[in-house]
Structure 1
């Protein structure tokens, strides 16, 4: 177990120094002589209290630090204006010196449990920012100054109620999953570069904001937004090939599905208030449909025009009365009707396997064999 290091000042050409998990290490001598050092990693060094003159490391671009009261006091004295990456400062209090890191490009404050407010207004070059699992964080100030920000992750920040990202014109990736008190995100309607949006598990959001990025959007996750009742804004996402709406228990109506001409896979599960699926008959490109546990659905349209349909899952659709038009589909080879208690008649499908019992494996065209519990 490493307890002590020799003086490092002679290692003039050393570019990276990692001391991760040196749990007994208390001091690092000679750091000020490492003029070429670009990365310093002192994660999980809880007893480390002396680092020498880190502020002299003019080449330092990445500093990785773990929770330590001594290191926290050290950070309050630092002025590392050239620092570009500050990752994984887990459990820190929220450094008062962030405003001196004017060249910072990457900031990771994951699990900063004591941080309640964060001001990023001076970090004008920031490109990536993560405050994941900062459960007491209620406010992020200065976002309107971050004109170069491309990635923002506030996942599991359960105390944030509102967020304004309208000025982040280059934002491409936005994660806000499991922000259970987040009820409104302003600016999604003006951001045209977004490729990835994840608001899954945001149980206070009721209306999907209008998005202006449907030409660039590749991934949208709105699963388990239990109060979400309006997703009509999705109608602009007509180029979508894969649509998953899972656990939106208050959702009563889908967008106009007839506009999704290229849709191949549709998953609408656990949408207990959903009543109407009549537009399914227009989706001729569909290959896979899973609408398990949509407990209010009584009727599906005549599916005879869905000529590419391979698999239909209506598991636990307890009020579903009938299935029409499936006998005209030459491509159909698997139907799961397990738990459909109200189904009047089991369709005759000579070319397809009809699953009626829980636990039977099914074959997904993309993921292969799947066994349901």
Structure 2
């Protein structure tokens, strides 16, 4: 029976401290050891499972290492190590060439990835969020098929290698709350497939001018950063009409925004007193203004022909709102329930 078994699911076997010899499971394709909270060791025979395509040990908090044989598997496509005590990922050079999904989320003991990482030529998704990663290897640039890289909440991550510019297929780059990350490499401009870039709550204070070359960027967040100005040409590039969402852009650069924006989120801009000249954003459909405690007026709304959702939240001083009544009546504008008391507002004509 063991030789024919394709799926072995031992999820939440709380008393399991070590797996038995697995060499008899010649046809095994999926091995699930999720939340085996006492598991400390996986038998080295796992390396003999030539048919294995998926290994999931997420939540095995006592598991500190993987057998070296895991790094030599020829057919493995999915390796999930989330919330383990793993200190290193065994990746033999030239092996794991079929691996598509590698997740080491919340592996807080994991400080580095091996240079042999570049062997993972089929990798499309890499999740290192909330891990102890301090740096990414230069060899990451060899991952030509990588589409999603999530290193959010990696509080020890201090730099991104310039080789990241070689990731021609990368569409999503998440770096949220990497509090030691102070700059992006200039090579970021080479990520021609990038559609989403999230730099919220990083230590980044300046954007490279080359960022305007990201022709397919649609979602861009710099919430909670120390960025005080945008690259000079960010509003003039035609391809930025594809940009759909910007979160917390720095005051006073609203007039420099790309004309094609459909969603604009303005959050925690403590010095912002007036929000004006928005009328050029003809495609803007959603406007969110939150926690701007000094904001007193918003004007130019009458020119926002596509506006359908307006939210103004925790802006206690706002007293002037441009033509919101006519917008609401003529186009069915939805005003968020957190909007200030309309009786205290003056409509700008």
Q: Which TM-score band (shorter chain)?
A: 0.7 to 0.9
Cα distance change of structure 1 residues 313 and 347 upon mapping to structure 2, 3 Å threshold: same
Q: TM-score, normalised by structure 1?
A: 0.73
Looking at secondary structure, tell me which structure has more helix per residue.
2
Q: Could you say what the CA RMSD is over the residues aligned between the two structures, in angstroms?
A: 3.5
Asked whether the equivalents of residues 252 and 273 of structure 1 are also in contact (C-alpha less than 8 Å), the reply is no
Q: In the aligned structure 2, how far is the partner of 1:324 from the partner of 1:199?
A: 32
The structure 1 residue matched to 2:106, chosen from 111, 118, 126, is 111
1:231–1:255 Cα contact (<8 Å) kept: no
SS at 2:241 equivalent = coil
Query: Structure 1 CA distance, aligned partners of 2:141 and 2:50?
Result: 29
Task: Give the Å deviation of 1:292.
Answer: 3.9
Q: Distance in 1 between matches of 2:61 and 2:299?
A: 62
Equivalent pairs, count: 329
2:56 counterpart of 1:57: no
Unaligned runs of 5+ in 1: 1-9, 350-373
Does the aligned pair in 1 maintain the 2:66–2:90 contact within 8 Å? Answer: no
- Structure 2 distance, partners of 1:264, 1:73, is 47
Partner of 1:156: 153
- 2:118 is aligned, of 97, 121, 135, to 121
Q: Distance in 1 between the 2:158 and 2:112 partners?
A: 13
Q: Secondary structure at the match of 2:149?
A: strand
Other-structure match for 1:360: none
Superimposed CA distance per residue, residues 29-77 of structure 1 (whole angstroms, 9 cap, x where no aligned partner) = 56212221111112333246463622221111222225366x6456146
Specify every segment of 5 or more residues in structure 2 that has no aligned partner in the other structure, as ranges.
Answer: none
Indicate the SS of the match to 1:281: coil
User: Which of 9, 13, 28 is the equivalent residue of 1:22?
Assistant: 13
1:4 maps to: none
Match of 2:91 in 1: 98
Of the two, which has the highest radius of gyration? 1
CA gap 1:148/1:265 in 2 versus in 1, 3 angstroms: closer
Question: Taking CA–CA contacts closer than 8 Å with sequence separation of 6 or more, which of the two structures ends up with the larger relative contact order?
Answer: 2
Whether 1:212 aligns to 2:218 is no
If each structure's strand is expressed as a fraction of its own residues, which one has the higher value?
A: 1
**TM-score normalised by length of structure 2:** 0.78
Inter-CA distance 130–32: structure 2 relative to 1 (3 Å threshold): same
